[in-house]
Amino acid sequence: MHTGLAYEQHGVVHLTDGPQAGHRDIWRMLIEAGKRVGDCGSMNAKGFTAPGSYYLPDPWCTGEKTSPEDLHIFYHFVSRYVQEYTDPDFALSRVDHLRFAAFMVRHGLRASTMWAVLRQLVVEALVDRKRTWQRAPLLDLMQMDVFRHYQRTLRPDFATYFINSTAHYQHAFWRHMDPSAFKVQPTESDLEAYGDAVLFGYQQMDRLLEDFFALEDEDTMLILATALSQQPFLRGEDEGGHTYYRVRNIEGLLGRLGIVPKEIHPVMTHQYLAHFADQAAADRAKDLLSSVCHEGRSIFDFAPSKPATLYFGNDIHRPVADRAELVLAGTSNEPMPYYEVFYRINETKSGMHHPDGVLWFKTGRHARHAGKVSILDVLPTLLEFFAVAPSPADAHHFRGTSLMSLLRKVGD
């Protein structure tokens, strides 16, 4: 959406690949036109630095720097918790928590956000420990506080705010929202605990609209754009459901195999992206990871990635027995407990992306259009809204068309 390019043009497959692709985007185009811009967490976007503008990477975008620099305190805290949310043993240091709290106080933390956090912790401690799944929207509230701060201090001409908590609930709890679509049925206790999880996510995001409305003025147009909707995910239902297993200590496992990457980053659920000094080192690492076997087959699978990198994850998605073993060939070759190396992520995947979404331009004049428009139409629409002509090179690549004539027609 932010490049205006179709998939066969941009070629970006994985999270973290976007910034390395080198494509121009809406923020750069507007900066070049003299506009102040903000990016508050938009996915797979390259960083930028410009007077009166700010940039917060998405939680998986580990290679880009925040702007202003002190925004890194927020990014570090949130990204680490998002990346490691499945690990029950993960915790940031006391110093990290204190630095984060001090940053939030200086950057718009509201009493209502503090009360929401306190209420959540009390519910978990005194009412139901299973309610930890309701923490995700708290990060949305904190991000909104930061967004409001920069909107009111920098007053950018264009800003984006991206959150993903409801999509997470859809992935994890669609089965509990609509059990009839699945062979693997949730237990009564799980239905009671998670049956309203997807609805809860939508309700929390709906409440954020009030904050956006409060930031409006007569020259503002709000746009709500869902990247993707979702639908039931039925793969693996005959084998007990589609499960995920994650390495307990990825640095420890790589060290045990003799793999020394320059960098290693978690990328969604069970996957990792490793950077190496050269392609030979990446190839050697792939061979060594391929030697990790369970029941005679390699555990890890590999997705296409940039040169000198390795994108890999556990390819087992069915229930694994408690006493299962694995072999690290090339080390001792002695079997070792599977769950000594991996742990099972609690959620069984039950929601998957659907290509249709929703696009809403808040012009103050209601009209509902039954037809579909392309995601490629968004960037040309924004440029026309700001009266910014695309460069000849950019215009040559655009396949979408501006929707401004349609929006003006609504007013007529």
Distances, alpha carbon 328 to alpha carbons 52, 94, 342, 345, in Å: 53, 36, 13, 22
Q: Does residue 2 belong to any structural domain of this protein?
A: no
Examine the domain organization and report whether 188 and 133 are in the same domain: yes
DSSP state of 298: E
Q: Contact 21/12 with Cβ under 8 angstroms?
A: yes
Q: Where would I find the H helices in 188-292?
A: 188-194, 197-215, 250-257, 279-290
Examine the domain organization and report whether 277 and 192 are in the same domain: no
Examine the domain organization and report whether 203 and 282 are in the same domain: no
Q: Does residue 353 belong to any structural domain of this protein?
A: no
Give the distance from CA 331 to its chain's centroid. 36
Examine the domain organization and report whether 189 and 225 are in the same domain: yes
Examine the domain organization and report whether 106 and 32 are in the same domain: yes
| Domains identified in the chain, total number | 2
Q: Does residue 268 belong to any structural domain of this protein?
A: yes
Write the burial class of residue 160 (CB in 10 Å: 0-12 exposed, 13-18 middle, 19+ buried): buried
Residue 393: closest CA among 30, 44, 24, 34:
24
Q: How does pLDDT run along the chain (412 residues), one tens digit per residue? A: 999 999 999 998 888 888 888 899 999 999 999 999 999 999 999 999 999 999 999 998 878 999 999 999 999 999 988 888 787 778 889 999 999 999 999 999 999 999 999 999 999 998 888 888 999 999 999 999 999 999 999 999 999 999 989 999 999 999 999 999 999 999 999 999 999 999 999 999 999 999 999 998 878 899 999 877 899 999 999 999 999 999 999 999 999 999 999 999 888 788 999 999 999 999 999 999 999 999 989 999 999 888 999 999 999 999 999 999 998 876 666 788 999 999 999 889 999 999 899 999 998 888 888 889 999 999 999 999 999 999 998 888 999 999 999 888 765 5
Residue 78: closest CA among 35, 140, 24:
140
Examine the domain organization and report whether 400 and 310 are in the same domain: no
Residue 165: closest CA among 131, 135, 144:
135
Q: Does residue 79 belong to any structural domain of this protein?
A: yes
Domain boundary among 312, 344, 376: 344
Q: Does residue 1 belong to any structural domain of this protein?
A: no
Domain boundary among 344, 377, 400: 344
What are the residues facing 266 on neighbouring strands? 272
Residue 352: closest CA among 265, 191, 216, 230:
230
Q: Does residue 225 belong to any structural domain of this protein?
A: yes
Examine the domain organization and report whether 373 and 401 are in the same domain: yes
Q: Does residue 349 belong to any structural domain of this protein?
A: no
Q: Rounded to the nearest 5°, which phi and psi values hold at 258? A: 80, 25
pTM of the model as a whole: 0.91
Residue type present at position 130? K
Range of the structural domain that residue 294 is part of: 245-344
Examine the domain organization and report whether 337 and 367 are in the same domain: no
Examine the domain organization and report whether 208 and 313 are in the same domain: no
Q: Does residue 117 belong to any structural domain of this protein?
A: yes
Domain boundary among 344, 372, 398: 344
Examine the domain organization and report whether 25 and 47 are in the same domain: yes
Examine the domain organization and report whether 256 and 179 are in the same domain: no
Examine the domain organization and report whether 114 and 18 are in the same domain: yes
